Amino acid sequence: MTDMSRTHAHVVKETSGARAMRNPSDIKVKGGAMEGDDHAAISSRIPYLVIRSGCMIAASELVSKIDSETQSRDEIAQATVNIANRIYERFVELSQERRKNRRHKVDVSAKILVEDKVFDCNLWNISHGGAMVSPLLSLHVGVSVGLKLGRNKPIPARIAAIGAKQTNLTFLSNEIEPEWLQGIIVKLLEANRTAGD
Amino acid sequence: MVKFHKFGEVTVATENMSKTNRADGFYAEALLKSSCIQAASRIVSSRVGPGIGANAAAEEVALLAYRLYDRYVQDARTRGQGN
């Protein structure tokens, strides 16, 4: 076990009453020696390795087509690794961006405010980019609205699409503090989960 | 509530599932992502030639791979509805 893992185990032992009963050697820290459940540790890395190997295969194909200047095997290997890393990093970035904008399925009552009018609807899903509510056939695409959830102040939005089965809203992101919206989404999900229990 | 996601032949439940199933799901997802990256590379490399910047090609592969993955998952979910 590494010094790092010993330190971590020590901290856990001192700060957590429940965990203090655990043997410090049970605590695993990234980078530390694997012991005990080595198999689980390796298994947890398989998805990462599968994607990495896909990047290597992809990079190898690209290098053979785009780079005519790499002559030696070392140069080809280095170019392949560089491109594989680049593909992997960008792919992960794209995954993270998408995760940030993931839609959360809910089923709660909401109100749509349009000037001095209020429409009752059901909110079906919500993300940082927009929301889907039950059909509001009396509205038009492009109309600015406010989505009111509970006691929160209305979220500025625009009607993006109206279908027979749903109305899609796009949030006006330049008028919204991301942290404020995140707070609303978290509270909403918690309330929705509690109601479903 | 349990949600089912289809990754190719593997159906993955994302809630109330055992650790083993979750690991299978991550593995299936990684395999699919890896296949998309390789497919994207094949598409991009068929269109490019010597002299193209490696970074630009890598960027294009990553974007296309993600689009393929996204599209595949959406399609699988649509087909999986009602099953």
Same domain, A191 and A114: yes
Whether the complex's predicted ipTM is more than 0.90 is answered with no
pLDDT at A164: 82
Closest CB to B54: pick one of A50, A58, A66: A66
8 A C-beta contact, residue A29 and residue A4: yes
Beta bridge partner(s), residue A132: A125, A168
The single-letter code of the amino acid at B24 is D
What is the extent of the structural domain holding B75?
4-80
Same domain, A87 and A142: no
End-to-end CA distance of chain B: 16
Closest CB to A54: pick one of B34, B51, B66: B34
Rounded average pLDDT per 10-residue block, chain A, 197 residues:
35 33 40 55 81 93 79 86 94 82 86 91 90 88 92 92 87 85 87 67
Q: Is residue A25 part of a domain?
A: no
Q: Which candidate, B26, B8, B9, places its Cα nearest to that of B17?
A: B26
What is the extent of the structural domain holding A159?
104-196
The mean pLDDT of chain B is 75
Beta bridge partner(s), residue A168: A132, A161
Task: State the burial class of residue A50 (Cβ atoms within 10 Å of its Cβ: 0-12, 13-18, 19+).
Answer: buried
| Confidence band of B81 (pLDDT split at 50, 70, 90) | very low
Q: Is residue A174 part of a domain?
A: yes
Closest approach of chain A CAs to the CA of B58, in angstroms?
A: 5
Mutation choice for B interface testing from A56, A66, A85 by most B CBs within 10 A? A66
Report CA torsion sign: B24, B27, B32, B33: positive
Q: How many domains does chain A have?
A: 2
Q: How many domains does chain B have?
A: 1
Q: Is residue A178 part of a domain?
A: yes
Same domain, A77 and A147: no
Same domain, A189 and A154: yes
Task: State the burial class of residue A58 (Cβ atoms within 10 Å of its Cβ: 0-12, 13-18, 19+).
Answer: buried
Residue B59 sits at the chain A interface (C-beta within 8 Å): yes
Q: Is the pLDDT of residue B1 over 50?
A: no
Q: Is residue A67 part of a domain?
A: yes
The whole model's pTM is what?
0.53
Mark which of A100, A130, A154 sits at the end of a domain: A100
Same domain, A89 and A118: no
Taking CA–CA distances from A59, the nearest residue in chain B reads: B41
Q: Is residue A176 part of a domain?
A: yes
Residue A46 sits at the chain B interface (C-beta within 8 Å): yes
Mark which of A100, A117, A147 sits at the end of a domain: A100
Q: What is the DSSP string of A23-91?
A: -GGG---TTSPP-SSHHHHHHHHHHHHHHHHHHHHHHHHHHHHH-SS--SHHHHHHHHHHHHHHHHHHH
Q: What is the CATH number of the domain that holds A192?
A: 2.40.10.220
Q: How many CB pairs under 8 A join A and B?
A: 104
Query: Which three-class secondary structure state does DSSP give residue A109?
Result: strand
Same domain, A117 and A182: yes
Q: Is residue A163 part of a domain?
A: yes
Same domain, A125 and A185: yes
Mark which of A78, A100, A122 sits at the end of a domain: A100
Same domain, A165 and A82: no
Rg of chain A over Cα atoms, rounded to whole angstroms, equals 25
Give the distance from CA B15 to its chain's centroid. 20
Q: What is the distance between the alpha carbons of residues A131 and A159, in angstroms, rounded to a whole number?
A: 10
